[in-house]
Structure 1
Amino acid sequence: MNDPFEGLTSQIFDNKHVLEEDYDPETILEREAEIEAYRNALKDVLFGRSPSNIFIYGKTGVGKTAVTRYMMDALQYQVEKRDEADRLHVLFHNCNNDSAYGTLRAFINTLRSDDAPTFPKKGLSTSDALEEFYSLLDEISGTFLLVLDEIDHLAKVNSLLYEIPRARSNGHLDQAKIGVIGISNNYRFRDSLSPKVKGTLMEKELSFSPYDADELRTILSHRAEKAFVEDAYVQSAIALCAAKAAQDTGSARQALDLLSTGGDIAEDNGDDTVTDDHILAAETRVQRGRVRNKIRDQTPHAQLILEAIAQLEESQETPVRSKTIQSTYEQVATYWGTDPLSSLRSVQDHLSELKMLGFLSRTERNDGRAGGAYYEYELAMDADAVFTARKEIEEESTT
């Protein structure tokens, strides 16, 4: 059998990684105001003071994590040049579908020496994990910044955000200083925190707005120069990617996906230049992938509620009230071996958030004295996309 990859070359891309999500750019474009606000929030670290707690808000793909990594690198560089600054340790953790205990365990295992045993997954409490965590911080000493990406997906987040900011004042830390940087796509995340946590945090808030078409065009042009070989794209294709993404989400990630996928399509077709037609073809492919990724980003219960509404949509029972959704959701959760949420209010909270994130449409009804006012919900996306994403997620969890 002949080698199917024999003679295969890349005639479009020079460095495709520049267009990928995990690429860390050396220069951050179109975020000057956010960088300035971040700088002011972090400056105490340079003078050996306790760091502020900082919360970053904004939609997916608007530069929150990229700017944070950029600022952490710049801060580390400055700290190393200043005698008055303590040694800086930055710990990153993605909280998606994690718990307070799991997050602490990840930090502990990062801080422990290579020859030390790993902190156990089970058998100990969150209090035990906090005790070990504080011990390690004081042993290492210096300033610690805990970057919690997707913090709104962290289970039992109140316990972590109540304890850690008070660690020094409560006598748990003597040598170390600590600050929390939370990154969230949910602008209402703070509202979900308990009053005592809000009083403890005293955080500084930074908001990242969606990019407009001109900003996205600047970012794409800069990346395209590095990603493609010379003359492998037309400028109108760059402008089209920027316009499409700006009209939809204002996400640089979406714009970069469009451009990268357009390059793939051009390469697959044997074309040596990415044109507007390739971008239009890429739009459909990227849209399908974005729906799957958005569903993956939701909490397990939010995913199950979406699947329940998709079932109701398929059987033409939508728009539908929250009580009916709750009943179907309980069946879906049981089918997948998950204990469902026990209260209608919890389901309604998830419905409100899913509506805010664009997964659902909501209509207010009023039946007057007989039935009063209430909401009805239906999917704002294709039900098949929900079923496909959920099937993939469940299959991945069993492998």
Structure 2
Amino acid sequence: MADNERGSDGDSEKGDSAQSIDLDLDEVVLDDEVEGDNQGLFDDLLDSEPIFENKEVLRPSYTPHELPHRKEQINKMATILVAALRGETPSNILIYGKTGTGKTASAKFVSQELESTSQKYSVPCDVEYINCEVTDTQYRVLAQLANKFIDKNEELIDERLEKFESLRADVTANETSEDTGASADFERKDSTATPAVLDDTEFDSVEGLDDRIEELKADREEMEQVPMTGWPTDRVYSVFFDAVDYRERVVVIMLDEIDKLVEKSGDDTLYNLSRMNSELSNSRVSIMGISNDLKFTDFLDPRVKSSLGEEEIVFPPYDANQLRDILQHRADVAFKPDALTDDVIPLCAAFAAQEHGDARRALDLLRTAGELAERDQSERVLEEHVRQAQDKIELDRVVEVVRTLPTQSKLVLFSTILLEKNGVHNINTGEVYNIYKSLCEEIDADVLTQRRVTDLISELDMLGIVNAVVVSKGRYGRTKEISLSVPIEETEAVLMSDSRIGDIEDVQPFVQARFDN
């Protein structure tokens, strides 16, 4: 009886389970059918026709095959560096110019041509690029250069070992075949004779070949990568020196943003690099420095300045017509045919020409306009996309500048925003200072003098965040009238993201106090 009950219960459970499985399977099939009918998150975006053919062409990191309006500067660089192809030491070069004037792109273009030509004529020549805005200390520069040359030396050793060990295997195979074919009745050959396989090689004997293989293996084992921290600087320099001088070659070291290196670490690195030719036995080193600051050499040791600035090349800003040519040159590769309306490139060039002829800004503007057009699923890039891109880039710049301001400058800017939001026009320094003091007390920050706050306002003016104009009040003296040059809402949002300023819960009493006074 109990068994029957148990059996019936078991059958019931099995039936329920079967129904459950059937139900689940039905739901799975149903879900699959529903998912099949719906487009995925990215399907609609992928279905739209892309505007770009190759967006990377519009990025600053891209080195074009042709650089319009920089032929004079490129030719001058080439006439200096051609000495490397003759096995001579080229003069050191300093390249000056504002941001976006084609300095780095031109230098990289010439360097690529130099390396390809050196391979064509079998002249050992290496060009190494260092961005000193990222690699900004003597230790890092020397370590990065040392490791690059160690990698190249190891590659060279591996190639030679493979070649010489293959030659040694041929010698062994030749000896074996001669021993097998020789008869005991014949006179034994002179064991000191050079094998035929070594004819037309650099080796006079098998022993010389074996010694060279062992020497290369020893060199390979001695090479050690430099860690990015932890070694004494003189040891890093010694390893770098040995790595450079391992073989005969001409080395061009390209130091981009060289002024950042000098500003952070002084001129010791440049002194060591510019003087090392007198100690090198096999190689020769030339330095190519690239800087946005025309006056950075004023801070150099006179000896470094004289040896580093043997040749100077200045890159002037582009005008609107030149920017138009550059943009057209890149756009032909970057975009699909007929993807741009006729007014897009002239407008991008005009905007960038207002910013001291910055080609990088023009390319960013064109790329951003294309991206905005794609997001709108527009078939072409229009003038309105360029204007939207201009606003977006400007806002991104403002956000980044405001975000990185010191706390005291943020408080001064926040005081100005509070006054403007409450309808105050022609704000003067005293009004800003009164609110600034209240804000400092609220977040327990040090209160600066009014004179120092005036200096901070001038700094904000130079950054383009506020507009400060000195106005004469007759017998009452002169004062600064301050107004914002940036969007209030977005700027306030960035300031409120600062943890200290974000803690201020109610700012209205501070502004009201100004009216009460």
TM-score bucket (shorter structure): 0.7 to 0.9
Between the aligned partners of 1:379 and 1:165, the Cα distance in structure 2 is 48
Indicate the residue corresponding to 1:109 in structure 2. Answer: 147
Change (3 A) 1:145 1:363: farther
Name which of structure 1's ranges 56-65 and 38-47 shifts more when overlaid on structure 2.
38-47
Between the aligned partners of 2:491 and 2:299, the Cα distance in structure 1 is 29
Between the aligned partners of 2:493 and 2:260, the Cα distance in structure 1 is 22
Alignment match of 1:77 (pick from 94, 116, 126): 116
Letter of the 2:316 counterpart: S
Q: CA deviation at 1:216?
A: 0.7
Q: CA deviation at 1:168?
A: 2.0
Alignment match of 2:137 (pick from 96, 99, 106): 99
Residues 319-334 of structure 1: matches in 2 within 5 Å? none
Between the aligned partners of 2:281 and 2:458, the Cα distance in structure 1 is 43
Output the TM-score relative to the length of structure 2.
Answer: 0.59
Q: CA deviation at 1:145?
A: 0.8
Alignment match of 1:260 (pick from 367, 380, 389): 367
Deviations 1:137-178 (A, max 9, x none): 111331111111111111224001111111122x2x111100
Indicate the residue corresponding to 1:32 in structure 2. Answer: 71
Output the TM-score relative to the length of structure 1.
Answer: 0.75
Letter of the 2:54 counterpart: N
8 Å contact from structure 2 (residues 416, 483) kept in 1: no
Letter of the 1:263 counterpart: G
8 Å contact from structure 1 (residues 93, 103) kept in 2: yes
Deviations 1:214-267 (A, max 9, x none): 001111111111111121111211111111111123111111111111111222
Alignment match of 2:124 (pick from 78, 87, 96): 87
Change (3 A) 1:111 1:293: farther
The answer to whether residue 353 in structure 2 is matched with residue 315 in structure 1 is: no
Q: CA deviation at 1:292?
A: 6.0
Between the aligned partners of 2:428 and 2:85, the Cα distance in structure 1 is 55
Secondary structure, aligned partner of 2:73? helix
The answer to whether residue 339 in structure 2 is matched with residue 232 in structure 1 is: yes
Deviations 1:72-114 (A, max 9, x none): 011123323446xx41111111111520111111111222236
8 Å contact from structure 1 (residues 319, 378) kept in 2: no
Secondary structure, aligned partner of 1:93? strand
The answer to whether residue 308 in structure 2 is matched with residue 208 in structure 1 is: no
Indicate the residue corresponding to 2:32 in structure 1. Answer: none
For this pair of structures, how many residues does the alignment match? Answer: 349
Q: CA deviation at 1:18?
A: 1.6
Alignment match of 1:166 (pick from 244, 265, 275): 275
8 Å contact from structure 1 (residues 309, 379) kept in 2: no
Deviations 1:319-354 (A, max 9, x none): 99xxx9xxxxxx9xxxxxxxxxxxxxxxx9xx9999
More helix by share: 2
Unaligned runs of 5+ in 1: 297-302, 325-330, 332-347, 366-376, 393-399
Secondary structure, aligned partner of 1:250? coil
Q: CA deviation at 1:304?
A: 6.0
Alignment match of 1:118 (pick from 218, 225, 239): 225
Secondary structure, aligned partner of 1:178? strand
Change (3 A) 1:359 1:174: farther
Between the aligned partners of 1:104 and 1:284, the Cα distance in structure 2 is 41
Indicate the residue corresponding to 1:19 in structure 2. Answer: 58
Letter of the 2:301 counterpart: S
Change (3 A) 1:142 1:381: farther
Indicate the residue corresponding to 1:286 in structure 2. Answer: 393
8 Å contact from structure 1 (residues 310, 379) kept in 2: no
Residues 335-350 of structure 1: matches in 2 within 5 Å? none
Residues 123-162 of structure 1: matches in 2 within 5 Å? 123-154=230-261, 155-162=264-271
Between the aligned partners of 2:462 and 2:88, the Cα distance in structure 1 is 38
Between the aligned partners of 2:105 and 2:491, the Cα distance in structure 1 is 29
Deviations 1:41-96 (A, max 9, x none): 3232222211211111112221111111100011123323446xx41111111111
Q: CA deviation at 1:127?
A: 1.6
Between the aligned partners of 1:360 and 1:192, the Cα distance in structure 2 is 31
Secondary structure, aligned partner of 2:252? strand
Between the aligned partners of 1:195 and 1:362, the Cα distance in structure 2 is 40
Letter of the 2:270 counterpart: L
Between the aligned partners of 2:312 and 2:428, the Cα distance in structure 1 is 37
Name which of structure 1's ranges 27-36 and 117-126 shifts more when overlaid on structure 2.
117-126
TM-align CA RMSD: 4.0
8 Å contact from structure 2 (residues 402, 410) kept in 1: no
Between the aligned partners of 1:188 and 1:364, the Cα distance in structure 2 is 29
Name which of structure 1's ranges 258-267 and 6-15 shifts more when overlaid on structure 2.
6-15
Change (3 A) 1:358 1:79: farther
Between the aligned partners of 1:158 and 1:105, the Cα distance in structure 2 is 17
Secondary structure, aligned partner of 1:145? strand
Between the aligned partners of 2:321 and 2:428, the Cα distance in structure 1 is 38
Alignment match of 1:65 (pick from 104, 112, 122): 104
Change (3 A) 1:241 1:304: closer
Secondary structure, aligned partner of 1:73? helix
8 Å contact from structure 1 (residues 292, 386) kept in 2: no
8 Å contact from structure 2 (residues 402, 491) kept in 1: no
